[in-house]
Amino acid sequence: MLKVVNLKKEYKTQTNKFKVIDNINLEVKKGEFISIMGPSGAGKTTLLNILSTVDKPSEGNVYYDNKDIHALNNKEISKFRRDNIGFIFQDYNLLDSMSVEDNIALPLVIGGKKQSYIESEITRLSKFFGIDMHLKKYPYELSGGQKQRVAAARALITSPSIIFADEPTGALDSKSSSELLNCLKDMNEKFNVTVIMVTHDAFAASYSKKVIFIKDGKLSARIDSNGNRKEFFKNIMDLLTSLGGEVNELI
């Protein structure tokens, strides 16, 4: 579904060149739930932005179903992003001037979908995320966890093939984090939507099926879940503890 080949990203100043992503190769299959972890400044969010077409690489290619997405023009990329990609951000990115219902509906309204279809999708997803009783409220009336579930419903309403989540639990308490992560896990399994999540939190990462670790702009390690989340969490913690040592054997 998604293939990354020799990906590089550099930022230049008048006197220096900073390499943020350094020759990353990666394949993501449909229906995977992958977490990307790494220390601050390792390139996690930059990688997420390039994969999600928000940013462009300095070198290398990103293929969706064998199509080089960054070879498209801006109009084609915008259409691809609208039709295939959903986003969940740490700060929700909801519009306080619009009701919860309207926030969720916004991508379909922009896409020109029929009102009856929009209403049925709002009903379906609001029940799935447990926010159906809040549809007439405004984001400022909700808790952080409720806001993030609204954001997740909005991300899913266009039936994207892949959802990118950038630190989605970063502003949530432990209870709200668990609720959202269970929703993401159910969304991945029940709707077969691919999820790629950037997180610094091993607890959050343990809900995924695979964790890849970035260090100095390179993929340095990978761990796959065996289905036991507690055991997976322990394995992630063991890897994080070993960061000062040799971890390449985990690839």
Q: Which of 61, 41, 28, 67 is nearest to 164 (CA)?
A: 28
Q: What does the pLDDT look like over 45-72, one tens digit per residue?
A: 999 999 999 999 999 999 999 899 999 8
Q: What does the pLDDT look like over 160-199, one tens digit per residue?
A: 999 999 999 988 888 989 989 999 999 999 889 999 999 9
Longest dimension (CA), the chain: 57
Q: What does the pLDDT look like over 188-216, one tens digit per residue?
A: 998 899 999 999 899 999 999 999 999 88
Contact 163, 195 (CB under 8 A): yes
Query: If pLDDT is split at 50, 70 and 90, which confidence band does 249 have?
Result: very low
Q: What is the pTM of this model?
A: 0.90
Phi, psi of 210, deg, nearest 5: -155, 140
DSSP three-state, residue 237: helix
pLDDT of residue 244: 57
Contact 163, 194 (CB under 8 A): yes
Separation CA 43–CA 52 (nearest Å) = 14
The structure tokens listed for 105 are 């509906």
Separation CA 205–CA 197 (nearest Å) = 8
Using left for φ > 0, alpha for ψ between -120 and 50, and beta otherwise, residue 6 falls in left
Residue with tokens 């997976």: 232
Query: If pLDDT is split at 50, 70 and 90, which confidence band does 39 have?
Result: confident
Query: If pLDDT is split at 50, 70 and 90, which confidence band does 13 have?
Result: confident
Domains of the chain in sequence order: 2-250 (3.40.50.300)
